[in-house]
Copies of this chain bind each other. A is one copy, B any other.
Amino acid sequence: MYQILLNSPLFRGLTSDELDALMQNINHQIRQFRNGELLAQAGEGVDMAILLLQGRLQGEMVDFAGNSLKIEELDPPQMVAAAFLFGPQNKFPVFLSAKTEGRIMVILKKDFTRMLSLEPRVMVNYLNIVSAKAQFLSGKITFLSLKTIREKIAFYLLQRAKQSPNIQVDIDQTQTALADLFGVTRPSLTRSVLEMEKQGILEWSKEKVFIKNLRMLNQILGR
């Protein structure tokens, strides 16, 4: 009945039978949605868990500035706004709209809470989801705190180089895409890259980077 959910991070580790048994004890509801439908407005209160079963949703960041409004897409089976069901300010952070038609499962907060108590594995899964979100945001902040493009490049390369302690870093992306990821313009990124090449810090060819002077790269980040 709920096979889709077995692959979701929230119910990971449960057998099909266990999930069925659990859901029989928990009030829930299936809702269809149409393409283009607006499921939730930013600022609206969150008083239920929403699990995407089928179709595709998109959340548009509440970007006042408008210029780089980021769109996050959501594929099943996944939970919507997992980090905003609890907490002091449980309001939707985004406008949630449908990109296709599909189905969601809705569980009221009090029933969701009961489910977590009933099944410790689901509780741990949920904790992992929310914590992952917090950790992701935390990492994003350290990155956003970097002021110059040089610093962003250095941070990015060093983080990648750490995983495979190599002088060569595969970035598997064009400079154009990377500029977008960094939130800077492409010519500005190129300018900084060329400057760093001129200074003998690195060599950028195609989608690979050779770090020629690790010391200087670290120095950019203040050691």
Contacts and interface: CB of A to CB of B under 8 A. Distances in A.
Interface of A: 61-68, 83-90, 93, 113-114, 116-117, 120, 123-124, 126-128, 130-135, 137-138, 140-142, 144-147, 151, 155, 183, 221-223
Contact of A141 (B117, B126, B140): B140
Contacts of A222: 64-67
A68 B146 CA distance: 10
B65 A147 contact: yes
Given A83-B131, A131-B84, A222-B67, A62 B142 contact: yes
A141 B142 contact: no
A65 B221 contact: yes
A2 B221 CA distance: 44
B87 A134 contact: yes
Q: How many copies does the complex hold?
A: 2
A142 B68 CA distance: 11
A151 B68 CA distance: 14
Given A63-B142, A130-B131, 19 more contacts: A62-B142, A83-B135, A84-B135, A86-B128, A87-B127, A87-B130, A87-B134, A87-B135, A93-B135, A93-B138, A113-B124, A116-B127, A117-B117, A127-B130, A130-B134, A134-B134, A140-B141, A141-B144, A144-B145
16 contacts: A64-B142, A64-B151, A83-B134, A86-B128, A86-B130, A87-B131, A88-B135, A90-B131, A93-B138, A113-B124, A116-B127, A126-B127, A130-B130, A130-B131, A133-B134, A144-B145
Contacts of A132: 87-89
A50 B134 CA distance: 18
Contacts of A135: 83-84, 87-89, 93
Contacts of A146: 64-65
Contacts of A124: 86, 113
Contact of A123 (B84, B87, B123): B123
Kindly name the residue among A61, A62, A64 whose own CB sees the greatest number of chain B CB atoms within 10 A. A64
Nearest to A66: B222
Contacts of A86: 124, 127-128, 130-131
